[in-house]
Structure 1
Amino acid sequence: MDQSGDFGFGTQIRKSPFFDATVRWGAKGFSVYNHMYIPRDFGDPEQNFWNLVNDAILCDVAVERQVEITGPDAAKFVQTLTPRDLSKMAVGQCKYVLITNAEGGILNDPVLLRLAENHFWISLADSDVLFWAQGVAVHSGLDVTIREPDVSPLQLQGPKSGEVMRALFGDGIMDLRYYWLREVELNGIPLIVSRTGWSSELGYELYLQDETRGDELWETIMAAGRPFGLKPGHTSSIRRIEGGMLSYHADADINTNPFELGLDRLVNLDMEADFIGKAALRRIKEEGVRRRQVGLIIDGPRLKGPNTRFWAIEKNGAAIGKVTSAVYSPRLEQNIALAMVSTDFAHIGAEVEVIVPTGRTRARIVERPFYDPKKTLAAA
């Protein structure tokens, strides 16, 4: 790897404010997410997993771009984008939401942050919701301003992340509740801090609001975390699949609806407010879905890494679905997967066959999430 940080993709692939720091701290490989580099390799992914679940890791997730919505009609406009009822969302609160199109398909599954009465951030998964939101606003008749602000998040995740936060911000930060946010400064660096993250562990996200101070912020956090075993890392496929967390474009996409994923709790068809996809989702609910997301335990040798393509699932020689995310869990000592299968076969205990790269192997449908189903670790 060229230590100058020139990976050869040109200027159209943006580098985060933490890019140089991650290279210094051992990032060996990157992929592209929301038109930006994201570190995907700090060495052994199993060691990264153990660092996460035993201590803490710091991840560059500046690729979680923010769509900022402000203006007198901001709250009304945000509600048009999502089927989740936001009427009781308080200032300072975060919510996991779905953004749906007119057919009820999922365009993104972001975290929504309410910074003020008429000030929201949509913290994105990997799709261009900035363009969607600006397009929706054009003929909405609502008074809103929609832009991408200078905001770049880091994720500090793991059981010792709270102790690192205490070292950085003092005892006062310890009463920050799960899925709430706070505006803070660190050595004059402007931040929003939230008790959120993509790990199913105790964790925080630190939203940098000055891209010129990314290197300083990274080094400050790593220095504070050294006594607690903090390591540089990347979002863990192992842990997020254990926790049943979605990866957009893999486990959900524009052709997936919330009911197929069992996310009925994120859809309120009875609220007075209208939202994009309401009629379609009402129809889908009435008709029932033809496929559902399930968990799988896959037999055979341990998988050598996450799947890089969808694997066919068969029953008695007939195709019934696909594996969307699969990995070997060293904690569970099993190959685990999220899959989408025909409703007729989506019942716990059903035996199926999966076509993996090495051939055909047996699998069994199980409950998901695979570990800590009530998210007691994240909400602790």
Structure 2
Amino acid sequence: MRVEEQRFWFSTAESTLLPWALAAAHWSGLDVHVQEADVGPVQVQGKKSVEVMVDLFGESIRDIRHYWLKRYQLDGMDVVVSKTGFTNVGGFEIYLEKASQHADRLWETVYEAGQQHGMRVTGPVHINRMEAGILSYDADMTLDTNPFEVAFHYPWLEREIDQETPFIGQPALQQIRDQGVDRKLVGVEIAGEPLGSYTDGSMPEAFPVHYNAQQVGLVSSACYSPRLEKNIGFAMVPTELADNGTTIQVETRHGRESATVVDKPFLT
């Protein structure tokens, strides 16, 4: 997030971000100052998130475009509100400055405002993010994957890879593009009993994928979608098995089940 002309925040759950940023600044020779900000985020997500945020910040909250941000003061606290989140139903993130002093007060203020709208406290709703095709780092994408394996609707990848301004990883991505990849992350619909919500202990590890009696890949995330009334997930498979309609076998907690390769996202 570009919070000022020459001030940026990188917000992620990945704990190695700070050393990565320090290393990137050092080896790039950039004249920048990198530090962990005293900032605490809280998300307000879901179909009623706009109403909650209007109660907190006023009607101007409706004008924030997706992936844009705006500064506010809330009960004397300086916050940055961005229209972002880990779901496909819309929502916001509130970033509190001086979080070490005011985090409890922000939490209580947001929670109180949400009660008339039926707000509940939860972690990331993985069912929503899977339905929307949103990938989770350390599950669907890791240090062992690359964008050409996991990306499926990013036209900028091909368009920007040869840009004149260099960026970290550019030569490697150009090499991968030229050589091609031998596996792809695809959407799958999995038969059998409902798989659960992913964070309820139903999927402690990836599910093995089999084809012709051999393990050929892994389902990295899977859940039961109540809206679709079926099990859905993401599977890393060889490119020859990545076409829609391909039938594979997935070893779930209920046993080996048939699965079909389909388009993702599952819902838009």
Shift of 1:220: 1.2
Letter in 2 for 1:136: A
Q: Given the alignment of the two structures, is residue 293 of structure 1 paired with residue 185 of structure 2, yes or no? A: yes
Name the counterpart of 1:272. 164
- Within 2, Cα distance between the matches of 1:220 and 1:122? 25
Shift of 1:221: 1.3
Where relative contact order (Cα < 8 A, 6+ residues apart) is larger, the structure is 1
Shift of 1:127: 3.7
Cα 1:242–1:278 change in 2 (3 A) is same
| Equivalent of residue 237 in structure 1, options 109, 118, 126 | 126
Name the counterpart of 1:217. 106
Instruction: Specify the SS of the correspondent of 1:256.
Output: coil
After superposition, residues 1-380 of structure 1 pair within 5 angstroms as 113-211=1-99, 212-262=101-151, 264-267=154-157, 268-306=160-198, 307-372=203-268
Cα 1:136–1:353 change in 2 (3 A) is same
Instruction: Specify the SS of the correspondent of 1:167.
Output: helix
TM-score (norm. length: structure 1): 0.66
Letter in 1 for 2:155: R
- Within 1, Cα distance between the matches of 2:250 and 2:28? 46
Shift of 1:249: 0.6
- Within 2, Cα distance between the matches of 1:163 and 1:130? 35
**Consecutive unaligned residues in structure 1, runs of 5 or more:** 1-112, 373-380
Aligned-pair Cα RMSD in Å: 1.3
Letter in 2 for 1:265: P
Shift of 1:210: 2.0
Shift of 1:266: 4.9
Shift of 1:126: 2.0
Instruction: Specify the SS of the correspondent of 2:205.
Output: coil
Greater Cα offset, 310-319 or 281-290: 310-319
- Within 2, Cα distance between the matches of 1:139 and 1:234? 36
Question: What is the percentage of aligned positions where both structures have the same residue?
Answer: 43
- Within 2, Cα distance between the matches of 1:114 and 1:152? 16
Does the CA contact (< 8 Å) of 2:126 and 2:197 recur in 1? no
Instruction: Specify the SS of the correspondent of 2:9.
Output: strand
Q: What are the superposed Cα offsets for residues 166-224 of structure 1, whole Å, 9 maximum, x if unpaired?
A: 11111122111111001111011110000001111110000011222112111211222
